[in-house]
Structure 1
């Protein structure tokens, strides 16, 4: 039996392993203290690490590509990347909305949005230009429901 054959059993065992033992495994596999996150997080990261150590991690060129993409998205600002990942659609995404029989296409850019060849900082400005009235741009383009408060 090879090391690879043991991986499925080891991953399955994580579900029933007591939390203190998961934290012990974390210290052994990551050589650091476990973060103060929930059990599910520990299980998923340990599962990835077990496979990474046995089968190998990401190829160096993949890591470089991911880093470049991250730089394009947030300019290297870690706080901005967390905020932006939660709120902004991915650069290049096309938002399509029909208004009074006319289809409007907005492209998400690294700096905001583009509509009819012009850059905009906000979707609300575009929605206002299209409708002539004040709109929440996120609601207008269907990225958030009217009831959403965040």
Structure 2
């Protein structure tokens, strides 16, 4: 379990006010990064993994699903850096 401080620090490393986009089964999902958390589908979420679970119905890594890696850089299709 991650501490609130760790989650807040990770969210700050992502661009607040930024947006993450992912197309899944013909639907484009847009997640806004805010200081309070992640905003998707009309409500706030604490983690990208929770959003990913709602989108896919399976337990995936949220950052990986949205193309983020540990260094905070984007990863394109098939794991190629963009």
Note whether the superposition's TM-score is higher than 0.5.
yes
The number of residue pairs the alignment matches comes to 65
Structure 2 unaligned regions, length at least 5: 70-74
Counterpart position of 2:14: 89
The question of 1:139 aligning with 2:64 is answered yes
Q: Structure 1: any 5+ residue segments left out of the alignment?
A: 1-79
- Listed one character per residue, the Cα deviations across residues 72-91 of structure 1 (whole Å, up to 9, x for unaligned) are xxxxxxxx6xx826863111
Cα displacement string for residues 26-60 of structure 1 (whole angstroms, at most 9, x for unaligned residues): xxxxxxxxxxxxxxxxxxxxxxxxxxxxxxxxxxx
The aligned counterpart of 1:100 is: 25
Q: TM-score normalised to the size of structure 1?
A: 0.39
Structure showing greater Rg: 1
Larger RCO, structures 1/2 (Cα 8 Å, 6+ apart): 2
Name the one with the larger helix percent.
1
Residue 138 of structure 1 aligns to a residue whose secondary structure is: helix
